[in-house]
Structure 1
């Protein structure tokens, strides 16, 4: 009978949605049939624990701290790491700093609540609150936020939801501070969860945490990267493990997690919306990594630096809802392929995305669909040197973010953002926007720069705003003389060398994400031991001859040397009295400087200098982009000659191997006609 019940459960899961409040999910042998559970949802309050139970899974939380100490499912008494202390299994955390200079390094704090309350308890839903108010007596001890962590379990649902409300009160008793990171972390049982999945082409059997310890692992250039010299599984010997190899753009980061082969169980973190994440769709965050660890990151400085660290003044009022995110567990019958759990997790992710915003959270701070508004329109591009007609903004990224300068959305980290991708004709619809004032922002693949609608857009509950046709005029002075790369805000189209055979992650061999291999910054010195890169327009191919990152050269004495790349090009004629325009779009910068010289590399004063820019650390963290920078540089025609010319791109900062630039796209324009 048990096998028949599980099979029926699996069939039922295709027809119901957890997110809608209806029965859904796989029920293993831990409880009733999804959609037919006679038990309903129960909450059991004990002295030190609170248990949420719907007959499919049981979630145990510490009382009153609100830390997830246990998840019982499919005959496994706890999916979380039982060898860890209860406080180190499933928790919300925050990294914060004072702004008065009294603390230099960020303070890591697991958020421990002090009050427990049942918010809602019916046969169909339980929502519980673990809150921790803040007052001035806690100054310097805890992050100056009142935090309310919520957990929701629905009837017949194979998973649970969590969200939190953070508030900094508008009173001068509340000090200034900053948040470097906040997230939810789950530490799973290492004896069961060995297979990790982040994407269809980014999934694999993972090392064990002890493989990273001395004796089994060898520390590399920074603590996160370890060479496996004597792993428990000999097949992994010689590989590099680094959590940053599994980072992901927000726009692609909807579901990730782990699979246990025996018993066949999946544990998945599903984020149905990006609205509460910082930095927009291209912000990169950590996902899952050796532990086994699963993360839902809401705020972080990764791949951006201090620009993505929100800073709050004394008495500055602020409130934000992070989540809900969905922790989904699933299973298959004996004899079935456990790897199909990943396919089911992707299907469940689509259900959650389609159900956003959820209707069931009880907090008035989480707004339902009828409390939100919608914006639609059509984005077109005007570039007369490409086409005399308006060009549909094919697959443009269009979003609403708080009012700011052009492109400010990528550095915005306090409030909400709402993004979509236009269709081939440039039509877009941004739905379920929280009320407030916004600018409309966009960027279009194939065109440089950023669009911003100058007039603020006010969203009210239930509004349907049709923007009509919107025209973006990307930066352009004259016709293109030559160009290097593709305007996609990344360096992915350029040459990525093979990694050092000593430092390989086998997942990324013959993989589109070749750039995720460890140590690629060292390859420049091997490829160009004496002279720097030279690119000849008309002869060179950027896919083979333009390295994905301009990094420093390592000298024999283990110091580093800045580099100067050359772009050689010929001009049949030169307008000596005209102004040429060099446009340099940078995809990443780490404590770097771009200097531009024309036809004379020896001049002390460059034609252009960016000054010191960037702290995204994408080179070390295997990212192909960080923050986007666009420089529009005037070149007096008198600096150019008929015949052969050279533009010199110098990155002189050389204290570390990780300082450098990644280029998105470079274009030289002739003077306007």
Structure 2
């Protein structure tokens, strides 16, 4: 007998869930992989025709504070509260599983989902390592019969806020879990100076600012052995990070609206009760010349591009008319349906990336067993070309899975390609209903001699085609003119 039927992950992600037996071979049909099951003959008929897949309920680390289940009779809530994400791998944007059919509630501190081999823990011979995971807080609440069960969710959120205020807990006896008075803090202000875009620096409004093990800019998204401490900058670029464990760190930032990654030029050493004030910091994102054209929004996500409606045979009712429409099953198959005879063809200053740029460059299904590579085109016009200058193409990728992206200019078959990523990514973001995985930034020099006055075409070919899940998600593409353009 299952008591907990109603799952809550967020205010806008909650629903009655199918039963675990609905996923059995007698009641469900396995789809492209075992985690995805079409409910053919569920115990409760209302779920018939829906897809159940745990990956449809994954969450960003920065959003995993409280989630769980509600029982209506009696009205009881079971909640997992994570007061801190300091021990989770790979920063605030890393996606983890949360709750799903079971009823299952997970507390994950490390996984390779949406990242692949880059986040596999690796140790050298003789290397010592230890890390404290958690603690987490399990909360059970109840109501009187007849009360609105959703009050349990509101109460759980209040309890979560209380637990966050109580962090770090004072009850762990381990010397490896420092108390409040044994930790430190960092504060400062981050501004962005984007040459050619503006003469003035702008506050890094909403920037992700954090401390992680020392490394190169952006290395935090592949870091999994140490602790990480993150916050969001306010509208003026001010940030404060509290309750930091002692140790040596780099300070990193990623600023929505700007490509690339920031890293403070010196390591930061946190000691007990230290309060480090860094003052004003300036991030200069990659920029060589003025913007000639751009596609998308530089925010490490493909969410702004065209996400199609799901096949009516494979729906999750939660995500109908939902901002997270990309979480539906099988959207990769819609590409071949929308582009049956030719690949995506985008024209700068005419096409609209919210409607005309498919959210993922996937393979095209030819028949039941084979797939083919795809080549997308970007058409653009240049009124003037400096044949002796160098232009810059910025390719920011939101995800890649077993893909090789090749770039060509004005000739779709010339060999070698102007640029090739080589085979990158094991993120499986497409199959797992994500809209981003790891962030990849490529900065390509385009010789002016290869550009034409008038009409030009950039060809983007993803060459690998043995699976429906191979592909690229773009974050943002920009062509810059030469510095004196």
TM-score with structure 2 setting the length: 0.99
- Could you tell me which residue of structure 1 aligns to residue 218 of structure 2? 407
Instruction: Determine whether 1:493 maps to 2:304.
Output: yes
SS of 1:380 mapped into structure 2: strand
How far is 1:557 from its partner? 5.3
- Could you tell me which residue of structure 1 aligns to residue 426 of structure 2? 615
How far is 1:467 from its partner? 0.5
- Could you tell me which residue of structure 1 aligns to residue 18 of structure 2? 207
SS of 1:341 mapped into structure 2: helix
Per-residue Cα deviation, 1:174-224 (whole angstroms, up to 9, x for no partner): xxxxxxxxxxxxxxxx51000001111110000000000012100100000
- Could you tell me which residue of structure 2 aligns to residue 471 of structure 1? 282
Instruction: Determine whether 1:257 maps to 2:76.
Output: no
Q: Structure 1's 603 and 266: CA in aligned 2 closer, same or farther, altered over 3 A?
A: same
Match of 1:220 among 21, 31, 39: 31
Instruction: Determine whether 1:350 maps to 2:161.
Output: yes
CA distance in 1, matches of 2:289, 2:63: 36
How far is 1:361 from its partner? 1.7
Match of 2:413 among 602, 610, 616: 602
- Could you tell me which residue of structure 2 aligns to residue 307 of structure 1? 118
Per-residue Cα deviation, 1:596-623 (whole angstroms, up to 9, x for no partner): 0001112021100000000110000001
Instruction: Determine whether 1:234 maps to 2:234.
Output: no
CA distance in 2, matches of 1:465, 1:614: 37
Match of 1:365 among 176, 193, 197: 176
- Could you tell me which residue of structure 1 aligns to residue 390 of structure 2? 579
CA distance in 2, matches of 1:548, 1:380: 30
CA distance in 1, matches of 2:433, 2:153: 24
- Could you tell me which residue of structure 2 aligns to residue 187 of structure 1? none
- Could you tell me which residue of structure 2 aligns to residue 341 of structure 1? 152
- Could you tell me which residue of structure 2 aligns to residue 422 of structure 1? 233
CA distance in 2, matches of 1:315, 1:304: 26
- Could you tell me which residue of structure 2 aligns to residue 517 of structure 1? 328
Query: Unaligned 5+ residue runs, structure 1?
Result: 1-189
How far is 1:383 from its partner? 1.1
SS of 2:342 mapped into structure 1: coil
- Could you tell me which residue of structure 1 aligns to residue 96 of structure 2? 285
CA distance in 2, matches of 1:573, 1:557: 48
CA distance in 2, matches of 1:209, 1:279: 31
How far is 1:466 from its partner? 0.5
How far is 1:468 from its partner? 0.7
How far is 1:350 from its partner? 1.1
- Could you tell me which residue of structure 2 aligns to residue 626 of structure 1? 437
Larger Rg, first or second structure (1 or 2):
1
SS of 1:298 mapped into structure 2: coil
Per-residue Cα deviation, 1:614-633 (whole angstroms, up to 9, x for no partner): 01100000010000000000
Instruction: Determine whether 1:322 maps to 2:140.
Output: no
- Could you tell me which residue of structure 1 aligns to residue 481 of structure 2? 670
Structure number with the bigger relative contact order (C-alpha 8 A, sep ≥ 6) is 2
Match of 2:2 among 191, 201, 205: 191
Match of 1:271 among 82, 96, 114: 82
> What does 1:16-27 align with in structure 2 at a 5 Å threshold?
none
- Could you tell me which residue of structure 2 aligns to residue 135 of structure 1? none
CA distance in 2, matches of 1:362, 1:556: 60
> What does 1:508-657 align with in structure 2 at a 5 Å threshold?
508-556=319-367, 558-657=369-468
Per-residue Cα deviation, 1:346-400 (whole angstroms, up to 9, x for no partner): 1111111122111222222111111011110000111132221111101100000
CA distance in 1, matches of 2:367, 2:32: 18
Q: Structure 1's 557 and 363: CA in aligned 2 closer, same or farther, altered over 3 A?
A: closer
- Could you tell me which residue of structure 2 aligns to residue 505 of structure 1? 316
Per-residue Cα deviation, 1:434-474 (whole angstroms, up to 9, x for no partner): 11110000010000000011211111000010011100100
Q: Is the 8 A contact 2:396 2:441 kept in 1?
A: yes
CA distance in 2, matches of 1:195, 1:661: 35
CA distance in 2, matches of 1:306, 1:506: 33
- Could you tell me which residue of structure 2 aligns to residue 102 of structure 1? none
- Could you tell me which residue of structure 2 aligns to residue 387 of structure 1? 198
SS of 2:130 mapped into structure 1: strand
CA distance in 2, matches of 1:624, 1:556: 26
- Could you tell me which residue of structure 2 aligns to residue 449 of structure 1? 260
Per-residue Cα deviation, 1:319-345 (whole angstroms, up to 9, x for no partner): 111001001111111211111211111
CA distance in 2, matches of 1:352, 1:625: 30
CA distance in 2, matches of 1:394, 1:601: 40
Per-residue Cα deviation, 1:637-672 (whole angstroms, up to 9, x for no partner): 011111110001110100100000000000000000
CA distance in 2, matches of 1:386, 1:426: 18
How far is 1:556 from its partner? 2.9
Using the TM superposition, name which of 361-370 and 572-581 deviates more: 361-370
> What does 1:119-130 align with in structure 2 at a 5 Å threshold?
none
CA distance in 2, matches of 1:344, 1:583: 47
CA distance in 1, matches of 2:236, 2:447: 38
- Could you tell me which residue of structure 2 aligns to residue 136 of structure 1? none
- Could you tell me which residue of structure 2 aligns to residue 131 of structure 1? none
Q: Is the 8 A contact 2:195 2:287 kept in 1?
A: no
Per-residue Cα deviation, 1:568-621 (whole angstroms, up to 9, x for no partner): 001111111111100000000000111000011120211000000001100000
SS of 2:131 mapped into structure 1: strand
CA distance in 1, matches of 2:338, 2:107: 39
